[in-house]
Every structure is written in C-alpha cells, then in structure tokens.
Amino acid sequence: MWTHLINRMMKKWNDLSFIEYEGCDNIYRGCVNIPPEIIELRSYHLMKIKRYMNPHIKAKLPFIFHSSYFRICNHPLAINITTVHDFTYELFVNSPIKHWLHCRQKYNAIRHSDYVVCISENTKKDLFKFLPDIHPDKVRVIYNGVDETFHQLEDCTTQPYILYVGKRDPYKNFDKIIKPVSELGMSIHIVGDSLNRQEESLLHEHHCQCVHHGFVSNEKLNELYNHAFCLLYPSEYEGFGLPILEAQKAGCPVIAFNGSSIPEIIGDSTLLLHSVTDEEIKSKLQLLNNQVLRTEVIKKGIRNAERFSWDKMAEEYISLYKQIGIV
C-alpha cells in the first residue's frame, strides 16, 4: 500500500518529507525511489523503544502527518491520519505483553488521529467494535488495489494443484485443507514461509504431495496463479485479502471462507466456504470440474478485480489530503 501511495504522491506534490531510521530493512522500501534530500534520517539506536514513541517534528505551518505504523505527531499544527488494516492482534494474538503493547499504541493513534482510514468495510466494523468511542465522521474506507503484474497468460494450461498463498497461522486453516486435497488426488503448492515440522508431518500422514516455493516475485506468482486449479484461501479473518484479487486478475478461481472482509472483496459467492470442513472443501473443489461453471467463475473474478486498483486507492488518499485543505 505504502509503496504505491508514495510513488504516486511524489508525482503529484513536491512538498513531501519522510522520516526514516538507519538500518531499517523493509522489502518494499527498495521499490520506492525517494530523493535523499527529503528524507530525515534518524538514528536506529534504541529502536525497540522508539518504535512505540511518537516522533518530534519542528514546523511553523500546518502539515499532514501520516504514519506507516500507528504513530502520531503531537505538534499542535499536525493533522494526523492513521490507516488501519485489520484487528488480527485483538482476535488471535495470545501473548499478553504483545497484545497490550500493540493495542495500546494502535488505540492511541486511532483515538488521537483527525482521520482514520480502514482498508475495508469489515475493518471499519471491527474498529467500532473494539473502539466504540470513535466518532464515525472521522473514519473513511479506502480499499487496497491489486498489482497490474497479475494477468492471464496466453495458452496457459491448468495443472492439478491447488495454490496456497500467505501466512499459515492457526486462523488461516492451512492444516484443514491437506486431507481433502489429498483425497481428491491433488497436490498443494505453497508460497510463503518454510514448512514447520507439524505441517510436514501432516502432509506425510495424508500422503499429500507438496511443493514449497518460498517467497517469489510477482511475475512468478502470476505464473503459479495461471497454472493452478484454484487458489484455496480458507482464512477465517482478513482485513482485506489481497491474494484473492491477485488470483482473480490472473484468471485463477478462488475458493475462500465466507467471513470477515472476504465476501466484500471476492464479489461472486459461488465458491465461498460456509465451514472449513473436508466435505465443504471437496464440494467446492469438485464444482470446478464443471468447465462451464469454471469459465463463468473466472470471468466474474476478472471483472471483480477491476473494481480495485492502486491508482484508485492513491486518488482517494489524495482526495482526503486535499479535503483537509492544506495541500
């Protein structure tokens, strides 16, 4: 999100500045070419503490401060904006210390921001669930986009594997797809972190063939989407669900869980799972053997993905910045 927003912002305005910390390594930072003269580089020393502290900024005129991670500026001329992606910590993180630290910082940023942006209506709903004191007038919904890298390849043959993309935390339900996929004689291709011992044991137990690709480029991921029988996305909770749109844009059918933001993002409900069970998963997978239905699902998916673009996302942020009246 920040990569696409910053790249487009720099084409629109010259009056931008950025605060960065020495040695901070983010894989997306290399995709943004920010001129050094508009970067205020700060020391990485005590970063584990600084990450929870609001930065001090000197200014004589009103300015917008939009942090990439739940920080605000206490300067009296600052107009603060916070973007909220999801409430995963609140729902699924069991560590009391991590939970407290995250929520304390997050809620402070939300409560003291002039505007709050949620990346889906479901995230907005969750925001009011966890912070009912927030005034609705300061909350906006701006959807993420989907990269133009993802598209249908010519003369692409479907192969008998299902694709799994992303993290595999317990609420993502990766472990629940192994048995039904194996019973249908299909294999699983995984993009993301290495398999742990428990996952390897489960794959072995059910004699499920698996190919682990690790982390791949968008170009490689597009190939995997194009060749896959489908993307299987059984996650119980997503703030947005970007892989769904990537797959749809690449002409890959998506089977996903009917919960959180997913019905809002996926469009067509034909392949939504109402429960993450062996029977339900196999039922949806078998539906895709019907070529007429499969073709229709792909067409609907491509049309649905057109609703989302990074250009549209950036335009809506820029519209919000302009609405504030100081840019």
Closest C-alpha among 256, 242, 254 to residue 173: 256
Q: Which of 187, 152, 171, 151 lies closest to 285, judged by CA?
A: 187
Q: In which band, very low, low, confident or very high, does the pLDDT at 314 lie, cut at 50, 70 and 90?
A: very high
Beta strands in 220-267 (DSSP E): 230-233, 254-257
Q: Return the closest-CA partner of residue 301 out of 187, 88, 146.
A: 146
What pLDDT is recorded for position 86?
Answer: 97
Asked if the domains 2-145+310-324 and 161-305 are classified in one and the same CATH topology, the answer is yes
Half-sphere exposure at residue 144, Cβ-oriented, CA atoms within 13 angstroms: 25
pLDDT surpasses 90 at 327: no
Span 136-168, pLDDT tens digits: 999 999 999 999 999 999 989 999 999 999 999
Tell me: pLDDT of 256 over 80: yes
Under a CB-based contact definition with an 8 Å cutoff, are residues 208 and 178 in contact?
A: yes
For the segment 45-97, what is each residue's pLDDT rounded down to a tens digit?
887 787 888 999 999 999 999 999 899 999 999 999 999 999 999 999 999 99
At 204, which helix (H) or strand (E)? helix 197-205
For residue 235, the model assigns a pLDDT of 98
The H or E element containing residue 272 is strand 272-273
CA atoms of 322 and 327, how far apart (whole Å): 6
2-145+310-324: CATH architecture: 3-Layer(aba) Sandwich (3.40)
306-321 average pLDDT score: 96
- What's the pLDDT tens digit per position in 177-200? 999 999 999 999 999 999 999 999
**Which backbone phi and psi does 143 adopt, to 5 degrees?**
-70, 150
Average pLDDT, the chain: 95
- Mean pLDDT (whole number) for 29-40: 90
Q: Which of 5-14, 105-114, 201-210, 305-314 has the lowest mean pLDDT?
A: 5-14
Whole-number pLDDT of residue 38: 94
pTM of the model: 0.94
CATH architecture, range 161-305? 3-Layer(aba) Sandwich (3.40)
Query: Domain limits of the chain?
Result: 2-145+310-324, 161-305
Q: How far is the C-alpha of 71 from the C-alpha of 113, rounded, in Å?
A: 9
- Residue 26 confidence class, pLDDT cut points 50, 70, 90: confident
Q: Of residues 251 and 13, which shows the higher confidence score?
A: 251
State the average pLDDT over residues 104-133. Answer: 98
